[in-house]
Amino acid sequence: MQRDEIQNLLKSQDLGTVKPSAFKQVGNPIFPDQSATLGMATVREVVDTFRAVHSPAFGSIIPQSGKSVSVIGDSGQLLALDGNEVARIFILAVSPTTLPESVTLFVDGLPYVTGSTDPLSAVNLLAGMQPLFVDSNQVVTFTAVSATQTVSIGYNLVSQ
């Protein structure tokens, strides 16, 4: 395999579109012989470059991606991400309208946290907990026991 063959495979592509089968089709398995050394060096260079750029930022907050979502009611969907996104939820604020209530946050249908609220004062149900990370395969919902609530979450998108 020539050095320019593997570089042509990678031209105008990102890691989401590169398929390992493409390398096998062009060069079959790469064995550490004299003719494969340049191809292996090129692959190593590509991987090292990607690692140097992306690994230090893994899990870091993406600037200007902070958002908040509020839902009024006794149940509802708070967050459903698009595509290949990951969110870091750092606050779950609950403001009951009249009576003390119990609110449960669900992630993908599984209960994550349940907390009680005081009348007419907002409470952060995630206070003292580690931030919650969810991806686009998980839907975040809530259910209140009996009264109408204003439930809000604050989140940032993170690099992955």
Cβ atoms of 106 and 143 within 8 Å: the answer is yes
| Amino acid identity, position 138 | Q
Q: E strand or H helix at 69, and its extent?
A: strand 67-73
- Collapsing DSSP to helix, strand or coil, 82 comes out as coil
Q: pLDDT tens for residues 40-74?
A: 778 888 888 877 776 666 678 888 989 999 988 88
Q: pLDDT tens for residues 19-42?
A: 666 655 555 554 556 666 677 778
- Closest by alpha carbon to 154, among 56, 61, 57, 59? 61
| Distance from C-alpha of 87 to C-alpha of 120, rounded to nearest angstrom | 29
Residue recorded with tokens 């590169």: 18
Domain boundaries, the chain: 3-57, 67-157
Q: Which fold has domain 67-157?
A: Jelly Rolls (2.60.120)
What pTM was computed for the model?
Answer: 0.60
